[in-house]
Amino acid sequence: MVALMVCALTFWPNWSPLQAASAARIDTPAQAEFRSQTLPPLGFAARETRSNPQANAAPGATMVAIAAAPDRPRVDLATTLGQGDSLGRMLQRVGVGSGDAERVSNLVAGAVPLADIAPGTRFAITLGARDGPGEPRPVDHIAFRARFDLALDLTRNGSALGLSSKAIAVDETPLRIRGLAGSSLFLSARAAGVPVGAIQQYLQTLDAHMSLDAVQPSDTFDLITAYKRSAAGEAEAGNLLYAGLERQGHQELQLLRWGDQGEFLGSGEMDQGGGATSLIMPVAHGHITSLYGMRFHPILGYTRMHAGVDFGAPYGSPIYAVADGFVSFAGVHGGHGNYVRLEHGSGLGSGYGHMSRIAVSPGMRVHAGEVIGYVGSTGLSTGPHLHYEVYRDGHTVDPLSVHFAMHAGVDHATQAAFKARLAKLLLVKPGAALSPLGSGRSPAFAGPR
């Protein structure tokens, strides 16, 4: 450095940019100078190697071998339980010995079933000093969240590991959010703080009951989703529980998750079956050969809506009225062939096509189970079967879904339970679940999840 400074001063008037010096241009005094500026051990090792190529930085006069590298007294690490992983395997992967891994697993299993620990759970682990070279490090401390509401802590105390568990307060007040639909229901709900998954469930539920195009910017969305938050600060959204849409202060749609299959039913659907009537099968031993929905029509040769359900049944089998009602049509009806249409009240109707013979006439009252005709193959039909339709407010609906809805609403106890749950859910204040969990909070909501 001194030499370079001298040069720079000497040639001051002709100052030019510094260039990287190649090794060949550094003379012996300069090399010594550079060496004195480097980290001494590295410099000495380099000199040692040069003077004795066989040594190759081996211990020499200036470098003394030590018996072993000093071990760090402790190691702090973090690891995550993988999908399909086990606690023991995960511990061994980060260097815990098999004995300790087994001890930890057994201790934890005493507090919580190991299968309950969710993949993705993070573990903070401290390993202590080894007893000897090559030995695995002993577990000094492990801390993790075994469940949403439970923290576990394992600490070494002498030669034994002790386990302490800490319950974490969890509040399950459902998350209710209301707001104006605006130009984009999705963006408005997102801006109002609705979790994306809940918005998707809400839109799917709405879509199954009305046209999403019919939602107006001035409509109010109202959704309630299962929600839990812990005193440690995390929150988890669960399934959508309620989907509502209001228009000018009036309930356009009120849908409640109901039953094990997670269907959404409206209070209207619950009332419909309230008269203790349930649909009976329109043919005695028919089996369904074609469902409601889009299908390729074998005679027309193209895909079109199949607006009913087909029951395969022998030619001449009796066809029964599915519910009490009156005959609004009986006669030849285009592709339906010989066709009977019944009206059952509350906007519900049923239709029966391809009959070989009709047994009723328009205006007649019929009772559930009464014979109204016989299976045939008239109209657009490839063989004897009953084409059975259900109408609601003049439009066909899937006959199997109506069958379900009417059964679901049959008894008054179910209706009462439905109304009670709806009323209870609607007591949840919008945004209540977003307030901080702590002092003065209401007791944990113990409602449906």
Neighbours of 218 (CB within 10 A): 11
Residue 389 interacts with Zn ion (CB under 5 A)?
Answer: no
Select from 154-162, 279-287, 319-327, 383-391 the region that touches Zn ion (CB under 5 A). 383-391
Q: Is 318 exposed, middle or buried (0-12, 13-18, 19+ CB in 10 A)?
A: middle
Neighbours of 146 (CB within 10 A): 20
**Which residue lies nearer to Zn ion by CB, 82 or 298?**
298
**Which residue lies nearer to Zn ion by CB, 222 or 310?**
310
Q: Which two tokens stand for residue 441?
A: 């909070």
Number of residues that bind Zn ion (CB under 5 A): 2
Spatial neighbors of 52 by CB under 8 A, at least 6 apart, are 60
CB of 392 to Zn ion, least distance (A): 18
CB of 307 to Zn ion, least distance (A): 8
3-state secondary structure of 357: strand
Residue 387 interacts with Zn ion (CB under 5 A)?
Answer: yes
CB of 272 to Zn ion, least distance (A): 24
CB of 296 to Zn ion, least distance (A): 13
CA distance 230 to 232: 5
Site string for Zn ion, 310-349 (x = CB under 5 A): x---------------------------------------
CB of 399 to Zn ion, least distance (A): 11
**Which residue lies nearer to Zn ion by CB, 182 or 379?**
379
Residues 107-136 binding Zn ion (CB under 5 A) are none
Spatial neighbors of 118 by CB under 8 A, at least 6 apart, are 81
Residues 58-87 binding Zn ion (CB under 5 A) are none
CB of 323 to Zn ion, least distance (A): 20
**Which residue lies nearer to Zn ion by CB, 197 or 298?**
298
Q: Which residue is nearest to Zn ion (CB)?
A: 387
CA distance 253 to 181: 14
CA distance 163 to 170: 22
Select from 155-163, 197-205, 245-253, 307-315 the region that touches Zn ion (CB under 5 A). 307-315
CB of 376 to Zn ion, least distance (A): 13
Cα-Cα end-to-end distance for the chain: 76
**Which residue lies nearer to Zn ion by CB, 113 or 383?**
383
Neighbours of 298 (CB within 10 A): 11
Count of CA atoms in the C-beta half-sphere (13 A) of 219:
21
Max Cα–Cα distance, the chain, nearest Å: 125
Count of CA atoms in the C-beta half-sphere (13 A) of 113:
2
The amino acid that residue 73 corresponds to is: P
Select from 140-148, 160-168, 303-311, 336-344 the region that touches Zn ion (CB under 5 A). 303-311
**Which residue lies nearer to Zn ion by CB, 210 or 380?**
380
**Which residue lies nearer to Zn ion by CB, 176 or 306?**
306
**Which residue lies nearer to Zn ion by CB, 202 or 374?**
374
Residue 103 interacts with Zn ion (CB under 5 A)?
Answer: no
Residue where the block lists tokens 């079956």: 273
CA distance 142 to 146: 11
Select from 51-59, 126-134, 309-317, 410-418 the region that touches Zn ion (CB under 5 A). 309-317
Give the dihedral sign, CA 379/382/385/386: negative
3-state secondary structure of 443: coil
CB of 293 to Zn ion, least distance (A): 11
Contacts with Zn ion by CB under 5 A lie at: 310, 387
